[in-house]
Chain A
């Protein structure tokens, strides 16, 4: 819920002055698969908290980012589908998360009338 609220807040604050009052059509976000966010529940929360805002008709477009980890000893990177955070080569546990924790808002799309 807090996350959906932040998305609405940031998006609303990002509407340019010349489009005040316009309806936002899309909100594009990047959600890492390791983040604490389940896309379905985020969409649900977004629908609720966007009511009575310029985002009330907007669809939340979620790009899911895979989990990529890197072994610091072998210096190799790979994508994981299961939460197995040890090196596939040396079996060591010195791995860093390269991506998969994203909780980013990338853009909003607003309809504008062409003169």
Chain B
């Protein structure tokens, strides 16, 4: 079928932009705000159920009240995690992302809004518990100083090589639930090898958020990092 002389041509419009440039701009603003108020920010990421909340509960009980800490927790639609973390006495703000079509990560603008709930002058340390997901959160800078990924021994040994970006962008890995090792056929060496392969210099802390085994090394390292920024 010929449609007459209605010939069309195509015009290409150059854009050349980063898809996430808006997020990056807001993350940079957040970073500036945090620096101005002397607040150290930690972004905690993992698969669902690896033990972010459990690890943070035990971490809070060891650093509070010496380090004045606040928490932002992303959750898909419950407030369980926020309630668990609030037991420590730290101010906790929960960010709900609705499960249907909602986001699978905390973006910089969400953190910017949530931070409005705190008196930043009265805080030294802000912890962000990201959503349980090893993919998207790795891509979204929120203006943090430090990133850690929690990986539990009930997950596959190949997680680091399946999600290399997450293990590249993080500053340390917490290998959690080691109290369960005696009951599992888990090849810890394989996991460590896979982490080293993706990020050869990454510190790995083997911990149990249940028994608090290994916590002293993690807490020492964390405090050193906080003190580098907060005098």
Contacts and interface: CB of A to CB of B under 8 A. Distances in A.
A34 B13 contact: no
B230 to A, nearest CB: 28
Interface size class of B (residues with CB under 8 A): 35 or more
A10 B17 contact: yes
A114 B10 contact: no
Interface stretch (B60-68, B134-142, B215-223): B134-142
Contact of A106 (B11, B14, B161): B14
A29 B13 contact: no
Interface stretch (B26-34, B100-108, B179-187): B100-108
Main SS at interface, chain A = mixed
Main SS at interface, chain B = mixed
Interface string B101-145: 101110100000000000000000000000000011011100000
Contacts of B15: 10-11, 14, 105-108
Contact of B10 (A1, A25, A34): A25
Nearest to B20: A103
A34 B19 contact: no
Most buried by A among B16, B19, B107, B196: B19
A10 B107 CA distance: 17
Nearest to B105: A2
A85 B144 CA distance: 24
Interface of B: 6-20, 22, 101, 103-105, 107, 135-136, 138-140, 160-161, 164-165, 168, 196-201
